[in-house]
Each structure stands twice: as structure tokens, then as C-alpha cells.
Chains A and B, each alone.
Chain A
Amino acid sequence: DAGITQSPRHKVTETGTPVTLRCHQTENHRYMYWYRQDPGHGLRLIHYSYGVKDTDKGEVSDGYSVSRSKTEDFLLTLESATSSQTSVYFCAISESAVHEQYFGPGTRLTVT
């Protein structure tokens, strides 16, 4: 299995609080991604990174920001969590744009 970890694995937070999810990889892959998974929608891309300090928006980026200061870490921040951001969040990595993506174990976030 690809060396991808996510922390925390579960989190419950209140509306309006900031939340940061961490993705850590040991594969030295250039590309990293954050997805959210919701029933009936499959996985949807939030943000992705194509190198250190290089990030861009995905399909559902509103309300989220990301940072990548090191190759191995990709952080997803919800500045002010809302109930609509209750979801399962997956991090993924890939060697390049033409390679398949490998996923982390997911983080279940509940915003009350």
C-alpha cells in the first residue's frame, strides 16, 4: 500500500470553528489531492497540489484552503466550518498527471 496517512481519522467540531486536516505521504510523489465524499456524489475534488507551494482549486473549493510547505504534507483548512462540510475527506497522491491516484484512509468530519 502507498504510504499515505491522514489525521485525525475522526473529528467532531462545532459550526464556526476552524478545522485543519493533515495528509502525510512517504512516497515522495509530486501530486497531492483533497477530495470529499458524499452520498450520491462519489468523490469530488476540493484542491490539489502539483508541487511545494503550488496549489490550485478543484470542483468544490469554496470554504476550503490548502497549504503545502513540504513535499510530504498537504493541509486542508476549513476556516469556519459549516454543517454542509460534514463529510468524509480523502487525500490522494500520484507520481504525475498521467499516473493513477492512491488514496489515504479518509477522515470523517462532523460539523454540529
Chain B
Amino acid sequence: AQTVTQSQPEMSVQEAETVTLSCTYDTSENNYYLFWYKQPPSRQMILVIRQEAYKQQNATENRFSVNFQKAAKSFSLKISDSQLGDTAMYFCAFMNPFDINNDMRFGAGTRLTVKP
């Protein structure tokens, strides 16, 4: 089974600075999808960004970008110009859409605090 590891349980960053959250995964598949979800104190799970493994170009959504290293099985999230509203738990997730179980595997999460 695929596993997802987030090695940083907690991180903090000063407002307006840049922070990178790490994620590694284990799979023998070649085609899959990776995601970052944000969970603010409201508890709502919000999709931040998505990356298809067959795409070499790193995904970007405004201040959020990823560094996808397929060979290293690494998928980090960079948040630029951090804002107070970025304070949240961040979950990395892996999905193999061709798996009969259609299972999305999540990491344990990284709690990010943006300090004023």
C-alpha cells in the first residue's frame, strides 16, 4: 500500500516570508496524483493544489507552488508571501486513480503557524 510521510509535525513562519512543507511518498506506480489540502481551525478541508505525476511542470496556484521530484518521490509545498490566513494544518495526499480501491492516502499533517 502507498504511504505518505510528512516529517514536520509543526512549523512556523513570519508573515510575508516563504515556507516550504515537506512530503514524501512510497509507491511502485508510475501514474498517480498528488494533492495538498489545507485545514484551518474551522476544520474544513480545502484543496490547495494538485499535481499529476505524468506532468513534469510543477503546479502553481497563486502564492502556492510545489516542487515535485518524481524520482525522489518528493512533493513539497512552497507558500510565498505568507499570510495570517495561511495558519492551518496542511495534509499531503496520494491517489492512484487506477487502483480498484480508489483510495486517497493522507500524511499525518503539518501544523503551520504564521506569526505577525
B residues contacting the other copy or chain, number (CB 8 A) = 24
Alpha-carbon separation in the docked complex, A45 to B1 (Å)? 13
- CB <8 Å contact, A98 and B103: no
Q: Flag whether A88 is at the interface (Cβ < 8 A).
A: yes
Task: Mark A residues whose CB is within 8 Å of B.
Answer: 31, 33, 40-45, 48, 50, 56, 58-59, 88, 90, 92, 96-98, 100-103, 105-106
Which of B41-49, B60-68, B70-78 binds A? B41-49
**A-side interface mostly:** strand
Task: Render B80-115 as a binary contact track against A, CB cut-off 8 A, 1 for contact.
Answer: 000000000001010001100111101111000000
The residue in chain B whose Cβ has the minimal distance to the Cβ of A40 is B108
The residue in chain B whose Cβ has the minimal distance to the Cβ of A2 is B47
Alpha-carbon separation in the docked complex, A100 to B49 (Å)? 10
Q: List, in ascending order, chain A residues with CB within 8 A of B107's CB.
A: 42
- CB <8 Å contact, A42 and B104: no
List 30 A-B pairs, Cβ < 8 Å.
A41-B108, A42-B4, A42-B91, A42-B106, A42-B107, A42-B109, A43-B93, A45-B103, A45-B104, A48-B102, A56-B101, A58-B101, A59-B1, A59-B103, A88-B43, A90-B45, A92-B45, A96-B97, A97-B97, A97-B98, A98-B97, A100-B33, A100-B50, A101-B47, A103-B44, A103-B45, A103-B46, A105-B42, A105-B43, A106-B44
